[in-house]
Amino acid sequence: MYSFKNDYSEGAHPKILNTLLQSNMTQEEGYGYDTHTQNAICKIKNLIGNQNIDIHLISGGTQTNLVAIGAFLRPYEACICVHTGHIAVHETGAIEYTGHKVITVDSNDGKINAKKIQEVLDHHIDEHAVKPKLVYISNPTELGTIYTKEELKNLSEFCNSNNLILYADGARLGSAICVKEANLTLSDMCKFTDAFFIGGTKNGALLGEALIIKNENLKEDFRYHIKQKGALLAKGRLLGIQFEELFRDNLYFELANHANEMANILTKGLKEANCKFLINSPTNQIFPILNNKIIKKLQEKFSFYIWEKVDDKNSAVRLVTSWSTPKEVVLEFINEFKKI
């Protein structure tokens, strides 16, 4: 049974595993001061084109979000995100556990805009309520939609004019950047946000995310926050090696592009069979609407999540392709759907 449940069911790309093995007996400094981590940071800085950013490698997305947001905000400050945002739904209240309220706004496409943020600001005007300070987005969103360069620019301008921090969760950032219509680069992500992270866990690494902090006001003592939250690995080389390999010879974007291509083939094949979709997603998460009986039949050969009920007979499911999804499995899914 092949799983379309997520993009981290597999282990890691062979190049990463080979380098981990080859470097295994070489002694290195700990806590991110090893040669591999320093080399990875250098590669990312050069790719972004900014030598003044701080880069920290952290083991997972939820951990990165709670360390970063917890560090960036004062005790009475809060963050704003859409109601489907990862920090609002899928992180077990990790942000609230750091003492910061998550203010959610409704969204049909998983994205937030200036109008929605302004509505929050208009309702939080004095010290009797929390102070909205940080705007959280993810790119792609939880619905697989993306922010274009222009949308990100507009958000950035609004946040700057209202003294708000713009923070981007990039767990699947490679997938978003590889959508041509987005017209987006890592340099753009850095230019238009105060901080963001590049996800490795969901794009070929065993684990790990690379947090980039551009805003000078957010950099001070950040390693103290990482250590206090249990996220400063003694064997930091494990993270360094992985990002060193991911950003060697364009591997990171090759893997993300493959995941997108497999999802696009799935989408095209299902649409040709008259399948409707909950939302238009150009990335590696797609949400076809299927008859419940068809879902049960498909689940005999494939595993995937039922996302939400559409009506008494139909549900939207989530299919996620990965950096290593075989094309033949994608075609098999389409053929099974057509047969049923």
CATH of the domain at 192: 3.40.640.10
The CATH code of the domain that includes 315 is 3.90.1150.10
Shared domain for 230 and 267, answered yes or no, is no
Shared domain for 145 and 286, answered yes or no, is no
Strands (E), 200-325: 209-213, 276-277, 285-286, 288-291, 302-303, 305-309, 314-320
3-state class (DSSP) for residue 201? coil
Please tell me the predicted confidence (pLDDT) of residue 136: 98
Chosen domain end from 246, 269, 287: 246
Average pLDDT, 10 consecutive residues per value, the chain (340 residues): 96 98 97 98 98 98 98 98 97 96 97 98 97 98 98 98 98 98 98 98 98 98 97 98 96 98 98 96 98 97 97 97 98 96
Q: What separation in angstroms does the CA of 121 have from each of 125, 168, 236?
A: 7, 20, 40
Q: Residue 25 sits in which domain range? A: 14-246
Shared domain for 259 and 236, answered yes or no, is no
- Give the count of beta carbons closer than 10 Å to the beta carbon of residue 188: 19
- CA–CA separation, 146 and 200 (whole Å): 18
Shared domain for 240 and 255, answered yes or no, is no
Chosen domain end from 246, 273, 298: 246
Shared domain for 242 and 310, answered yes or no, is no
pTM: 0.97
- Joined together, the tokens standing for residue 280 give 């238009």
Shared domain for 214 and 268, answered yes or no, is no
Please tell me the predicted confidence (pLDDT) of residue 104: 98
82 secondary structure, DSSP code: E
- Joined together, the tokens standing for residue 307 give 């996302």
Shared domain for 91 and 181, answered yes or no, is yes
Chosen domain end from 180, 214, 246: 246
- CA–CA separation, 177 and 283 (whole Å): 9
> What's the distance, Cα to Cα, between the start and end of the chain in Å?
17
Please tell me the predicted confidence (pLDDT) of residue 257: 98
Complete DSSP assignment for 218-248: GTTTHHHHHHHTT---TTTHHHHHHHHHHTS
Please tell me the predicted confidence (pLDDT) of residue 280: 95
On whether the CB atoms of residues 208 and 16 are closer than 8 A, the answer is no
The C-alpha angle with vertex 177 and arms to 268 and 60, in degrees rounded to 5, equals 105
Please tell me the predicted confidence (pLDDT) of residue 306: 97
Shared domain for 221 and 178, answered yes or no, is yes
Shared domain for 151 and 201, answered yes or no, is yes
- CA–CA separation, 286 and 299 (whole Å): 16
Number of structural domains (the chain) is 2
- CA–CA separation, 336 and 272 (whole Å): 13
Amino acid at 68: A
The C-alpha angle with vertex 222 and arms to 217 and 228, in degrees rounded to 5, equals 145
Shared domain for 194 and 211, answered yes or no, is yes
